[in-house]
Amino acid sequence: MKDLKDWARALYPMHTYLITSKSTEETNIITVDWLTVISRKPGIVGVSIAPTRYSHRLIKESREFIVNVPSTTLLEEVYKCGVLSGRDCNKFESLGLERAPSRKLKTEIVKNCVAFLECRVIDSRAYGDHTLFVGEVVTSYATASFTRSYKPIFHIKGSMFSTTADTLTTL
Ligand SMILES: Cc1cc2nc3c(=O)[nH]c(=O)nc-3n(C[C@H](O)[C@H](O)[C@H](O)COP(=O)(O)O)c2cc1C
């Protein structure tokens, strides 16, 4: 056996999402891979965000975030949301993304996405170099294209991405 240079690579590919969060003025967008389901009923998810990210401060202060699920049509924008910071630019404007009010929170959604989970933070805790924000899903909804033509974004490594095969195996 060979030692792994980066142990986390063994867990890839990962499903990539956009998380929106709000400052007192505007909604920011961050790209994340490290998101997991914690409970189905009630719906609870966990997302791991480094304290160096602008989004970290916004989620900590507003105690809410939204999981926006992108399809591969948004791949370039999703990658760019993961390299630009909301400290330096407004990602909606810089990337031509459309915002819309959410149903229950102050944070807006990325309208170009296909499914949405609005979450209120019920717990947060620093683990190593990231903070795990635990959110209760207060409402969730999806567009018609989520059922018709959704292709998830899978992160392979660096700037390499993939999606589901056109023919899927059902056992
Ligand atoms: C595909 C991809 C996945 C990422 N996943 C995470 C993640 O799970 N957690 C995290 O803290 N940062 C993650 N990042 C890095 C942030 O998206 C990046 O630092 C971003 O610029 C932070 O934006 P902000 O400063 O506006 O919050 C990821 C970046 C990419 C490209």
Residue 160 Cβ inside 6 Å of ligand 1? The answer reads: no
Supply the mean pLDDT for the chain: 97
Which pLDDT tens digit goes with each residue over 137-168? Answer: 999 999 999 999 999 999 999 999 999 998 88
What is the share, in percent, of the chain residues with pLDDT greater than 70?
A: 100
Domain membership flag for residue 103: yes
Domain count within the chain = 1
The stretch 107-130 carries a mean pLDDT of 98
Domain membership flag for residue 64: yes
Domain membership flag for residue 152: no
Confidence of residue 2 (pLDDT cuts 50, 70, 90): very high
Domain membership flag for residue 164: no
The stretch 71-83 carries a mean pLDDT of 98
Which pLDDT tens digit goes with each residue over 30-43? Answer: 999 999 999 999 99
- Cα separations in angstroms, 41 against 12, 47, 136: 27, 18, 10
**pLDDT at 88 (0 to 100):** 96
CATH of residue 133 = 2.30.110.10
Residue 76 has pLDDT above 90, yes or no: yes
Tokens 């602008």 found at: 54
- Cα dihedral 30→33→34→35 (10° resolution): 80
Q: Ligand 1, from 23, 29, 30: best to mutate by most atoms within 8 Å of Cβ?
A: 30
- Cα separations in angstroms, 121 against 62, 102, 127, 137, 143: 9, 16, 16, 9, 24
**pLDDT at 19 (0 to 100):** 99
Q: From ligand 1's centre to the CA of 169, what distance in Å?
A: 32
- Locate 15 and state its tokens: 């499903």
Q: Atom 16 in ligand 1: which residue has the minimum CA distance?
A: 82
Q: Which residues contact residue 143 at a Cβ distance below 8 angstroms, ignoring those fewer than 6 apart?
A: 114, 115
The stretch 15-40 carries a mean pLDDT of 97
**pLDDT at 168 (0 to 100):** 83
The whole-angstrom separation of Cα 113 and Cα 23 is 21
Cis peptide bond N-terminal to 13, omega within 30: yes
Residue 34 Cβ inside 6 Å of ligand 1? The answer reads: yes
Confidence of residue 23 (pLDDT cuts 50, 70, 90): confident
Domain membership flag for residue 53: yes
Domain membership flag for residue 4: no
Domain membership flag for residue 156: no
Domain membership flag for residue 7: no
- Locate 103 and state its tokens: 């149903």
Q: Which domain holds residue 55?
A: 14-142
**pLDDT at 166 (0 to 100):** 87
Residue 171 has pLDDT above 90, yes or no: yes
